[in-house]
Amino acid sequence: MTSAQMYARLLASDASCNGRFFFGVQTTGIYCLPSCRARKPRRENVRFFPTVEAARAAGLRACRKCHPDDFARGADPVLEQIETLAAEVRTTPSAFADVPALVRRSGFGATRLFEFFRQHFHTTPAEYLLRARLEAAKFQLLQSDATVAEIAYTVGFETLSAFHENFRRLNGLTPASYRALRNARAFTVALPENYPLPYLKRALSRDPQSLTERLTGDTYHACVRLDGAPARIAVELRPDELRVMLPAGSATTAHALIVGLAGLTQDAPAFARLAKRLGFARLVAGRENLRISQTPSVFDGLVWAVIGQQINFAFACVLKRRLTELVSTEFADGLYAPPTPDAIARLDPAQLLPLQFSRQKADYLINVSRLVASGQLDLAALPSQSALRAERTLLAVRGLGPWSVNYLLMRSLGFLDCVPLGDTGVTSGLQTLFRLDHRPERDETVQLMRAFSPYRSLATTHLWQLDRPLP
Ligand SMILES: [Zn+2]
Per-residue pLDDT, 76? 60
DSSP element (H, E) containing 87: helix 77-91
Give bridge partners of residue 153 from the DSSP assignment.
Answer: none
**Alpha-carbon distance values, 323 to 251, 260, 295, 319, 334 (Å):** 28, 24, 17, 6, 16
Domain with CATH 3.30.310.20 in the chain: 186-263
Please check whether residue 390 is in contact with residue 409, taking contact to mean a CB–CB distance below 8 angstroms. Answer: yes
Residue 38 CA to ligand 1 centre (angstroms): 6
Residue 40 CA to ligand 1 centre (angstroms): 10
For residue 316, count other CB atoms closer than 10 A to its CB. 17
The alpha helices in 122-267, defined as continuous H runs, are 125-143, 148-154, 160-171, 175-180, 197-204, 251-262
What is the average per-residue pLDDT within 413-434? 94
Kindly tell me if the per-residue pLDDT of 15 is higher than 70.
yes
What is the average per-residue pLDDT within 412-439? 95
**How far apart, in whole angstroms, are the C-alpha atoms of residue 34 and residue 95?**
43
Give bridge partners of residue 241 from the DSSP assignment.
Answer: 190
Distance of CA 2 to the CA centre of its chain: 41
- Closest to 306 measured CA to CA, from 376, 400, 378: 400
Please check whether residue 212 is in contact with residue 332, taking contact to mean a CB–CB distance below 8 angstroms. Answer: no
What is the average per-residue pLDDT within 315-332? 96
The alpha helices in 278-378, defined as continuous H runs, are 281-284, 298-308, 313-327, 341-345, 349-352, 359-373
Residue 422 CA to ligand 1 centre (angstroms): 19
Please check whether residue 18 is in contact with residue 34, taking contact to mean a CB–CB distance below 8 angstroms. Answer: yes
Per-residue pLDDT, 389? 87
Angle among Cα 202, 205, 208 to the nearest 5 degrees reads: 135
Kindly tell me if the per-residue pLDDT of 60 is higher than 70.
yes
Per-residue pLDDT, 75? 58
pTM attached to this predicted model: 0.84
Residue 65 CA to ligand 1 centre (angstroms): 5
What is the average per-residue pLDDT within 195-224? 96
What is the average per-residue pLDDT within 136-144? 97
Residue 47 CA to ligand 1 centre (angstroms): 14
pLDDT tens, residue by residue, 18-43: 888 999 999 999 999 998 988 999 99
Assign a CATH topology to domain 3-68.
DNA Methylphosphotriester Repair Domain (3.40.10)
Q: Which of 103-112, 235-244, 295-304 has the lowest mean pLDDT?
A: 103-112
Computed over every residue of the chain, the mean pLDDT equals: 94
Catalytic residues: 423
* 3-class SS of residue 46: strand
pLDDT tens, residue by residue, 350-403: 999 999 999 999 999 999 999 999 999 999 999 989 998 898 889 888 889 889
pLDDT band at 66 (very low <50, low <70, confident <90, very high): confident
Please check whether residue 48 is in contact with residue 23, taking contact to mean a CB–CB distance below 8 angstroms. Answer: yes
DSSP element (H, E) containing 17: none
What is the average per-residue pLDDT within 279-291? 96
Q: What amino acid occupies position 362?
A: A
What is the average per-residue pLDDT within 170-186? 97
For residue 396, count other CB atoms closer than 10 A to its CB. 11
Please check whether residue 185 is in contact with residue 251, taking contact to mean a CB–CB distance below 8 angstroms. Answer: yes
Kindly tell me if the per-residue pLDDT of 73 is higher than 80.
no
Please check whether residue 301 is in contact with residue 410, taking contact to mean a CB–CB distance below 8 angstroms. Answer: no
Residue 67 CA to ligand 1 centre (angstroms): 7
The answer for residues whose C-beta is within 8 angstroms of residue 269's C-beta and 6 or more apart is 288, 289
Q: What amino acid occupies position 149?
A: A
- Which one of 2.40.70.10, 3.30.450.20, 1.10.10.60, 3.90.79.10 gives the CATH number of domain 76-183? 1.10.10.60
Domain with CATH 1.10.10.60 in the chain: 76-183
**How far apart, in whole angstroms, are the C-alpha atoms of residue 302 and residue 377?**
11
The answer for residues whose C-beta is within 8 angstroms of residue 225's C-beta and 6 or more apart is 231, 296, 297, 337, 338, 340
What is the average per-residue pLDDT within 302-312? 93
- The CATH class that applies to domain 186-263 reads alpha beta
